[in-house]
Chain A
Amino acid sequence: MPGKIDKILEQVEQSRVWRSIFRSGRGTSTLHNALAIQQSVFLHLFSTKVRKRMLSFSSTWYLGTLTLGTFFILIVTGVLLMLYYHPSVPQAYADMKDLQFVVSSGLFLRNLHRWSAQAMVFLVFAHMFKVFYRGAYRAPREFNWVIGVVLLLITLLLSYTGYLLPWDQLAYWAITVGSNISAAVPLVGSKIHFLLLGGNQVDANALLRFYVLHCLILPLAALLFVAVHFWRIRKDGGLYVHQSEPKKAGAVDETELVKEVQ
């Protein structure tokens, strides 16, 4: 029976349709494995080869991957919440309450969205601390650190814009206080405040603007910078590995053995 399944799989993988989609073809050679990564639009951002030590838990604690995981959870739950939420003054609060008490699994999805948001902020900071204390921000990875700082700001702005959407007292006063901070910018502060809120006070325009920022502009910006962030890992020589052990005389340098296809 397993032999039969293997045979069917083999036939599928050799079919013209399969080959037209996955061009790397069958095989387990190094070349095939490399091509499988390089020829996928999603995976080609990554290195075709990595050292095993890079993938060990201790080297990264998988903090970046976990952050991406929470981001994907936030996209899926966020899109689902959008189906019941109207960003308007009379409806926003009631829709949020409906999600909690009326919509099937609404409470679960809303809580998942909220907890993932908290977890993402925590993981972003943990990821940055890990990178900082390992010294992985140093050359040639300085620019990827800068992109990481941009991603931190986008994460915080996503949290901040999402804060207003329940349209309760906490949200209203948090955004009143927060947007007043932007008014402290020299010379153009009050203009920035006016543009951010679309008015002089937190009202219908502000709710709509924060909704568009939260659901469209900031997530797209985050995806763009995440793509550059991952691509830079490959371009900057792969994940950082701490060179702690002194080289033995006559031993072959590990880094010489594995040259990545870049």
Chain B
Amino acid sequence: MAESKRLESTPASGEINRRAFFAKIGLGSLAIAAAGTAGFAYQYLSPNVLYEPSPIVNLGKPEDFALDSVTMDPNAAIYLVHIAEGFFALSAICTHLGCLTAWNQELGMIKCPCHGSEFTRTGVKIAGPAPKPLPWLKTWVSDEGELMVDRSTDIHPLQFLRI
């Protein structure tokens, strides 16, 4: 009796017995369920609708921005710069850790209050821990002749908007 039982439970090499087979099926289905749960959790935790302000900002008439001026819109966190080459918009969010930078008229540079990064008015880093220059943002003139900036779209630097 004991002999036959042992024969039953020790399969030949390469085969698996019924118990191991069901254990594998059980573990496999648990793994699939765990993967599904992880995917479900990830989707649930990522909001599909955000009630955040629109990335597109209307800055008004271009005439309001004098030549050689840097104008900050603190709510939109952008700079609108008007120099001889034309207009351009710059993100005011420091590329280091996301603080709001500020334009310093006396020094003629953009400075971050958090960790001391400094940028020129074209966004090039002069000093500090910021790893990247301030990004240039997509800028155009609407049909109504107003300056529009899309904060979610970066463009290559030195693409001036000429009006």
Question: Which residues of A are at the interface with B, using a C-beta cutoff of 8 A?
Answer: 173, 176-177, 179-181, 194-195, 198-201, 203-205
Top 5 closest pairs, chain A to chain B, by CB:
A180-B98, A177-B97, A180-B97, A176-B98, A199-B50
Whether B47 contacts A177 by the Cβ 8 Å rule is no
Q: Are A200 and B50 in contact (CB under 8 A)?
A: yes
Q: Is the CB of B52 within 8 A of A201?
A: yes
Q: A194-B46, A195-B45, A195-B46 are in contact. Are A176 and B51 (CB under 8 A)?
A: no
Within the complex, the shortest CB–CB distance from B47 to chain A, in Å, comes to 6
Q: Which of B82-102 contact A (CB under 8 A)?
A: 96-99
Residues of A within 8 A of B45 (CB): 195, 198
Report B29-48 CB contacts with A as 1/0, cut-off 8 Å.
Answer: 00000000000001001110
In the complex, the answer to whether B51 meets A173 with C-beta atoms within 8 Å is no
B50 — nearest CB in chain A belongs to which residue? A199
Q: CA–CA, A205 to B49, complex, Å?
A: 11
CA–CA, A204 and B45, complex, Å: 14
B1 to chain A minimum Cβ distance, whole angstroms, is: 41
Q: Which residues of A contact B47 (CB under 8 A)?
A: 198-199, 205
Partner of A200, one of B42, B52, B97, B114: B52
The docked-state distance in angstroms from the alpha carbon of A205 to that of B42 is: 16
Find out whether the CB atom of A181 lies under 8 angstroms from the CB atom of B52. Answer: no
What are the residues of chain B within 8 A of A194 when measuring CB–CB?
46
State the main secondary structure of chain B at its contact with A.
loop
Q: Which residues of B contact A176 (CB under 8 A)?
A: 97-99
Inter-chain contact count A-B, CB under 8 Å? 31
Inter-chain contacts of B114 with A (CB < 8 A):
173, 177
Say whether A173 contacts B99, CB under 8 Å. Answer: yes
Task: List residues of B whose CB falls within 8 A of some A CB.
Answer: 42, 45-47, 50-52, 96-99, 114
User: Using Cβ atoms and an 8 Å threshold, which residues of chain B touch A201?
Assistant: 52
B51 touches A204 (CB 8 A): yes
Chain B nearest CB, measured from A197 CB (Å): 10
Q: List, in ascending order, chain A residues with CB within 8 A of B99's CB.
A: 173, 176-177
Bound complex: CA of A201 vs CA of B98, how far in Å?
10
| 10 more CB-based (< 8 A) A-B contacts, given A177-B97, A199-B47, A205-B50 | A173-B114, A177-B99, A177-B114, A195-B46, A198-B45, A199-B52, A200-B50, A201-B52, A203-B51, A203-B52
CA–CA, A6 and B52, complex, Å: 69
| Nearest Cβ on chain A to B116's Cβ, whole angstroms | 13
A200 cross-chain contacts in B, Cβ below 8 A: 50, 52
CA distance A173 to B94 in the complex (A): 12
A180 to B96, CA, bound (A): 8
- Hey, which chain A residues are within 8 Å of B98, CB to CB? 176-177, 179-180
- The residue in chain A whose Cβ has the minimal distance to the Cβ of B42 is A195
Give Cα A136–Cα B56 distance, bound, in whole angstroms.
59
Enumerate chain B residues within 8 angstroms of A203, measured Cβ to Cβ: 51-52
A179 to B99, CA, bound (A): 11
A177 to B130 CA separation, bound complex (whole angstroms) = 13
Q: How far is the CA of A180 from the CA of B99 in the complex (A)?
A: 10
Report the Cα distance A198→B49, complex, angstroms. Answer: 10
Bound-state Cα–Cα, A180 to B132, Å: 14
Cα distance A205–B50 in the bound complex, in angstroms: 9
- Give bound CA distance, A71 to B94, whole Å: 37
A sample of 29 inter-chain contacts (CB < 8 A) reads A173-B99, A173-B114, A176-B97, A176-B98, A176-B99, A177-B97, A177-B98, A177-B99, A177-B114, A179-B98, A180-B96, A180-B97, A180-B98, A181-B97, A194-B46, A195-B42, A195-B45, A195-B46, A198-B45, A198-B47, A199-B50, A199-B52, A200-B50, A200-B52, A201-B52, A203-B51, A203-B52, A205-B47, A205-B50
Chain B residue numbers with a CB within 8 Å of A199 are 47, 50, 52
Bound: A227/B99 CA distance, A:
40
